[in-house]
Chains A and B, each alone.
Chain A
Amino acid sequence: MSRRTTDVIVIGAGSVGCPLAYFLSAAGARVMVLDQHASPGRGQNRAAIGGVRATHSDPAKIRLCLDSLEVFSTWREEHGDDIGWKMGGYCFPAFRDREQDILMGLLPVQKAQGLDIDWVDAPTIEHLIPGITTDGLRGGTYSPGDGQVSPLRAVNAFARAARHRGAEFHYRTRVTGVETRSGRVTAIKTDRGTFSAPVVVNAAGAEARQVGRLFGLDIPVTPDSHEAGITAPVAPFLDPLVVDIRPGPEGKTSNFYFGQNSEGQIIFCYTPSTLFAGDNSESLSEFMPVLARRMLSLVPRLRSLMVRRVWRGLYPMTPDGSIILDRVREIEGHYLAVGMCGQGFMLGPGVGRCMTSLILDGRPTLAPGVFVTLSFGRDFGAKKEALK
């Protein structure tokens, strides 16, 4: 079989691998991206709904997503291709003390990180979410700088831009093994030949753990699955992506969210209260009736939206709900950008920049005290993030 040589191998042409390949090649590195699928984003990127927000509670995620927002929002003017960017903000309405307390409690942390987010009153929420049920509405948080992007278009745009800068994408190429010498990674074996490089990044998303095993690592990433769907387009009426963090009265949903994308389509998803573990990504009959009732209970006029498609995708979860970005100490030249916990798409460009800086310059874009919270060697049993 053939043997090819490059500077950096990225395993996975998805939400993380594609922007990473773009930033690496833009910085002058020679890059080869290996992916088992036939085109970019065919792992879990295809299942992302495209919400992009910096309004998290974890400082690392806030920093990374601010970077992502900058990349997404300026992509069209810098590269010419439309990735469906829409700056409509995120809105979390509150109807009860519990949610109001959670949301208000996060504001000081978020503001301290420099985020443009604030509490707004009920009339403002009514204006932001036309047709929302006003009964019991307290108000909510609103962060106008957040937005939405088409994951499918964006991942292809990153891949295209990376290719223009010399990156090679090898699709339908399954990683089967690793070659190391003196504790240093030297090559990746695949079913389509061997690829040599001194640097290898695991950006394999939901399959990060399987790829990790080839390196002798046990990466604590286990997927669970979430469903989402999309409607036919309607004229623009809804700016923000709406997140209702109340658990559903049906006992099956711990929150749900929806937004109108740049095509006018409403895209929606809920977090099941009992998570579906495993890698099955076929749709279940339960999803639509449960989701539809939640949406209509919040905004009754959505009843005439025509539901076009549903799908199911995987959240590559870590035990503590934080992502893993690191240089693997045991194997020189090996890096991890995994465990995105369902937010790989919004984190992708920020992670791409951070890892590029780490790989090429030896230092991440994040402050050391923040970056260490994402380390592979951390105690995964520690506390979970307040607002995922």
Chain B
Amino acid sequence: MSSSRIEAHPILSFLRRRIVRFSFNGEPIEAFEGEMISSALFASGHHVFGHHHADGRPQGIFCANGQCSQCTVIADGIAVKSCMTAVKEGMRVQSCDRVPELVPLDRPPGFVDTEIVETDVLVVGGGPSGINAAIELARLGIEGILVDDKPELGGKLTLQTHGFFGSIAACHAGTRGMDIGRLLAAEIEATGRFRIWSSAPVVGIFHDRTVGIVRDGHMYVLVRPRALLVATGAREKALALPGGDLPGVYGAGAFQTLVNRDQVRSASRLFIIGGGNVGLIAGYHALQAGIDVVGLVEALPSVGGYKVHLDKLRRLGVPVWTSHTVVRIEGEDHARRVVVGALDRGFNLVPGTMRSMDVDTVLVAVGLTPVNEIALKARLYGMSVWTAGDADTIAEASAAIFSGKMAGRAMALHLGASTDVPASWRRTAEVLRSRPGRATEARLVEHDLAVQPLVRCFQPIPCNPCTEVCPVGRITIPSGDIMDLPVFLGEECLGCGRCVAICPGLAISLLVRDADPLHRTAQLVLPWEMGDSVIRPGQRVVTVDLEGGKVGRGLVLAVRNHPDHDRRRMVLIEVPWSERLDVAGFRIREPRQGTRPRGTARDPETIVCRCERVAREQVVQEIRNGARDMNQLKATLRTGMGACGGRTCGELIMRIFKEEGIDVADVEPGTIRPFFEEVPLGVFAGDRGEEG
């Protein structure tokens, strides 16, 4: 198998899977059975999947989530989304370089009737909110159907290698998202009250209060629920910038899918746009997968994500530039360089600040949008519909868990069960949805103890597992409010390291003060999730402070397991006594600032609508000609006419209206119609050949 597979990872475990052989443009390729074509192509070094029929520009992965159609390839003669189609033994895959040919007739038709299913509950989305809603309903004896478009339940939890925030009791805090996903999936399956349809996307919702679902790619089923829960999560916001349509520029969620689910090292040199939690975590995941992270820019003066996530990245040596933007992405057939520049307070580029960096992948992590079109239509049609999780309000997965539980109870009430939504749940849900508070000044208190924790938790976020694991109860939040900061009370520390092992923010380390009686050196126990091959005993490292500033040098003494935590290591490091309170980590890469951009190349085109290859300039022209209706842009430019139905370009175009000085309230929104994804005509017909 090829070298673009991740073969060692500090967190992920590797399943042995059967190998299948397929071909891409005639080249034989090995893949894992059940793997999506897109991942198998990435693993074998193919990043360009085709060329757009309109202008011949290269295309590759963009959403990796079945939402766009950038990754279309021809598999055994049929145009398919490579991110949603599994490879099969002997499959002949070809790049999609022109409008595909209609497949010749291979068999006569045979029809089966479309099944119509009546049910009490339909839960759309098997992520944290959907599953928890179903669990609550099942506990109250209510039966239903839970559908998810992916082969495995868990939603985006399946991509999360990091530990969760929140509290252990409420939402498994400290446990890794991918493990929580498995726990929840097992729990709903165990109830036996929900039929679980995986690989079953909802493709349409109709005026007759009916939901259209495609099961396993070939069975069209109509479901009529008495109560509908839309727990469809979020989609990533896109960004229109020069060169932003090149292969190698894609969403952070797509990246996590490739790396954490499919275990493909999809990049070598990564750059990230956006300093929310999604971008920060993607950077961390990249480093865990052995991918270099060249830098991260955030247009605002400070990052929006948790400070602990930001600091994790900075300590490892990743430069994070706030008030900066990517001016353009360069490359012929693939992203090769980013040019970044500083922004002033009015978000204008500061002259003379542009720097160029060689990269091969640029992640777009500029926020999430609720996937709410199903809910909007359901409400319009007078259905009894609820929303939960990101489809309702964008927040952390811990909040989604709670919002699902609450929706489940509310639906049960609607269906006549005797239950309620506890007021304490509402409070917890509110807390878990809280935005991070303002960071306080870093302040550590040293105690006269042989060993003590250094708790570097300086930004209020809803999180408290450290207070739940200390065996002597010396770490506590004095106010009892999960949004407040934990403190070490002193007097006693067993040095057990449980706080170090559980803190999802990697913000707690141990200071061993008595290792050198002469106080020339001190020892620190630091949490470590970057893999054993990166760090070895005897190695000298560049030590850094909490925020990644260089402190000095340290010597790695040992790398240990913690009994409470199978995949987080404890690194014992020796540092000069004077630096004992400053050192919070060490670098694995040297941060660099880039070089001045080469030449004065004209900016590449800024594509807004990827499906139909519509440039920003064309949209601006129509707006200046008086267009105030998204439907009119669709009619004249074809924006939103493509496979994605405007889900990528819609917000980008609204932003252009704003930039043109138009009040968006004056802009007529686009019309949403079925289908949410493309479905073969034969599936609607129930054409299953001899079976029919």
Q: Give A residues with C-beta under 8 Å from B.
A: 37-42, 46, 131, 152-153, 155-156, 171, 231-235, 237, 264, 280, 282-286, 288-289, 291-293, 295-297, 300-311
Contacts of B79 in A (CB 8 A): 232, 306
Check B380 for interface membership: any CB of A closer than 8 A: yes
Contact of B678 among A232, A235, A293 (CB under 8 A): A232
Are B685 and A292 within 8 A (Cβ)?
yes
For A289, give its contact among B109, B634, B684 (CB under 8 Å): B684
Judge whether B674 and A38 touch: CB under 8 Å: no
Cβ contacts A to B, 24 pairs, < 8 Å: A37-B668, A38-B668, A46-B635, A131-B105, A233-B53, A233-B99, A234-B99, A234-B101, A282-B206, A285-B208, A288-B220, A288-B684, A289-B684, A289-B686, A293-B687, A296-B109, A300-B109, A303-B103, A303-B682, A303-B685, A308-B678, A309-B674, A309-B675, A310-B675
> A284-B207, A300-B105 known; A41 and B682 CB under 8 Å?
no
**Contact B102 A237, beta carbon cutoff 8 Å:** yes
Which of A38, A152, A306 sits near B628, CB closer than 8 Å? A38
For B652-692 the 0/1 string (1 means CB < 8 A from A) is 00000000000000001000011100111111111100000
The answer to the question of B119 belonging to the interface, with a C-beta cut-off of 8 Å to chain A, is no
Contact B632 A156 (CB under 8 A): yes
Encoded as 1 (CB less than 8 Å from any A CB) or 0, chain B from 618 to 638 comes to 000000000111011011100
Give Cα distance in the complex from A57 to B674, angstroms.
35
Task: Tell me if B636 and A156 are in contact (CB < 8 A).
Answer: yes
List 16 other contacts, CB 8 Å, given A288-B220, A301-B102.
A37-B668, A152-B634, A152-B635, A171-B628, A171-B629, A280-B207, A284-B206, A284-B208, A293-B685, A296-B687, A302-B102, A302-B681, A302-B682, A304-B78, A304-B682, A306-B680
Complexed CA–CA distance, A152 and B210 (Å): 29
Query: CB < 8 Å: which of A38, A286, A292 contacts B632?
Result: A38
Interface of A: prevailing SS: mixed
Contact of A301 with B684 in the complex, beta carbons under 8 Å = no
Q: Which residues of A contact B98 (CB under 8 A)?
A: 235
Q: Does B114 lie at the interface of the complex (its beta carbon under 8 Å from any beta carbon of A)?
A: yes
CB of B95 to closest CB in A, whole Å: 15
Return chain A residues, CB-CB under 8 Å to B685: 289, 292-293, 295-296, 303
**Interface contact A295-B681, CB-CB below 8 Å:** yes
A39–B635 CB distance below 8 A = yes
A306 to B109, CA, bound (A): 17
- Quick one: CB contact mask for B99-130 with A, threshold 8 Å, 1 for yes? 11111110011010010000000000000000
Contact A307 to B635, CB < 8 A, known contacts A284-B206, A285-B206, A301-B105: no
User: Does B347 touch A at the CB level, under 8 Å?
Assistant: no
Partner of A292 from B204, B645, B682 at Cβ < 8 Å: B682
B222 within 8 A of A: yes
> Which of B222, B629, B636 is most buried by chain A, counting CB atoms within 10 A of its CB?
B636
Complex partner residue of A304 from B206, B635, B681, CB under 8 angstroms: B681
CA distance A292 to B684 in the complex (A): 6
Question: How distant is the Cα of A179 from the Cα of B530 in the complex, in angstroms?
Answer: 79
A156 touches B673 (CB 8 A): no
Least distance between B634 CB and chain A CB atoms (Å): 7
The number of residue pairs between A and B whose CB atoms lie closer than 8 Å in the complex comes to 156
Write the chain B residue with the least CB distance to A282: B207
Q: In whole angstroms, what is the CA distance A21 to B668 when docked?
A: 23
Q: Scoring B residues 516 to 543 as 1 if CB is less than 8 Å from chain A, else 0, what string do you get? A: 0000000000000000000000000000
Inter-chain CA distance A305–B207, complex, in Å, is 24
Residues of B within 8 A of A264 (CB): 99
Q: Which residue of B102, B212, B222, B674 is within 8 Å of A234 (Cβ)? A: B102
Say yes or no: A305 contacts B684, CB within 8 Å: no
Shortest distance from the beta carbon of B111 to any chain A beta carbon, whole Å: 6
In whole angstroms, what is the CA distance A296 to B685 when docked? Answer: 7
Tell me the minimal C-beta distance from A62 to chain B in angstroms: 29
Q: What separation, in Å, do the CA atoms of A302 and B380 have in the docked complex?
A: 33
List A contacts of B686 (CB < 8 A): 289, 292-293
Nearest to B113 among chain A residues (CB) is A289
A307 and B687 in contact, given A283-B207, A302-B102 (Cβ under 8 angstroms): no
Q: Assess whether A308 is in contact with B628, with CB atoms less than 8 Å apart.
A: no
By a CB distance below 8 angstroms, the chain B residues around A291 are 684
Say if the beta carbon of B643 comes within 8 Å of chain A: yes
B623 nearest CB across to chain A (Å): 12
The complex places the Cα of A176 from the Cα of B29 at a distance, in Å, of 68
Q: Which residues of the other chain, A, contact B204 by a CB distance below 8 angstroms?
A: 283, 285, 288, 310
Which residue in B53, B102, B114, B208 is a CB contact (below 8 Å) of A305?
B102
From residue A247, how far is it (CB to closest CB) to chain B in Å?
Answer: 18
Nearest A-chain residue to B78, judged by Cβ? A304
Contacts of B69 in A (CB 8 A): 232
Q: Does B425 contact A (CB under 8 A)?
A: no
Contacts of B668 in A (CB 8 A): 37-39
Least CB distance, B683 to chain A, in whole angstroms: 8
Proximity bits, B74-105, A CB within 8 Å = 1, else 0: 00001100000000000000000011111111
Q: A282-B206, A309-B673 are in contact. Are A301 and B103 (CB under 8 A)?
A: yes
B220: nearest chain-A partner, CB-CB: A289
A305, B636: Cβ atoms under 8 Å?
A: no
State A156–B637 Cα separation when bound (angstroms). 11
Q: Chain B residues near A292 (CB, 8 Å)?
A: 681-687
Which residues of chain A are near B681, meaning CB under 8 Å?
231, 292, 295-296, 302-307
* B629: A residues at CB distance < 8 A: 37-39, 42, 171
Q: Report which residue of B210, B220, B674 has the largest number of chain A beta carbons within 10 angstroms of its beta carbon.
A: B674
Residues in A whose Cβ lies below 8 Å from that of B381: 282
Tell me, in angstroms, the Cα distance from A309 to B642 when the chains sit together: 10
- Return chain B residues, CB-CB under 8 Å to A285: 204, 206, 208, 210, 212, 222
Most chain B C-beta atoms within 10 Å of own C-beta, residue among A46, A300, A308, A309: A308
Q: Contacts A38-B628, A38-B629, A285-B210; is A307 near B105 (CB within 8 Å)?
A: no
* Residues B684 and A309 in contact, CB atoms below 8 Å apart: no
Q: Report the Cα distance A40→B69, complex, angstroms.
A: 29
CA A376 to CA B643, docked complex, whole Å: 44
Q: A41-B635, A300-B109, A304-B103 are in contact. Are A282 and B675 (CB under 8 A)?
A: no
A57 to B381, CA, bound (A): 40
Asked if residues A289 and B100 are in contact (CB atoms below 8 Å), the reply is no
Asked if A289 contacts B102 (CB within 8 A), the reply is no
> Top 10 A-B pairs ranked by shortest CB distance?
A303-B682, A39-B632, A152-B635, A292-B685, A292-B684, A282-B207, A39-B629, A38-B629, A38-B668, A306-B678
Nearest residue, chain A, Cβ from B81: A306
Contacting pair A308 B100 (CB below 8 A): no
Query: Cα distance A103–B686 when bound, in Å?
Result: 32
Name which residue of chain A comes closest to B108, CB basis: A300
Q: Is the CB of A39 within 8 A of B627?
A: yes
State A232–B222 Cα separation when bound (angstroms): 23
B632 contacts A303, C-beta separation under 8 Å: no
Docked-complex contact B673 and A311, CB < 8 angstroms = yes
A38, A155, A289, A309: the one within 8 Å of B645 (CB):
A309
Note all chain B residues with C-beta closer than 8 A to A38. Answer: 628-629, 631-632, 668
| List of A residues within 8 angstroms of B102 by Cβ | 234-235, 237, 301-302, 304-305
Task: Determine the residue in chain A with the shortest Cβ distance to B377.
Answer: A282
In the complex, A297 Cα to B533 Cα: how many Å? 61
Write the nearest CB–CB distance from A309 to chain B, whole angstroms. 6
A297–B110 Cα distance when bound, in Å, is: 9
Complex contacts, A232 vs chain B, CB 8 Å: 69, 79, 643, 678
Among residues of A, the one whose C-beta sits closest to the C-beta of B114 is: A289
Roughly how many angstroms separate A289 CA and B680 CA in the complex, as a whole number?
Answer: 11
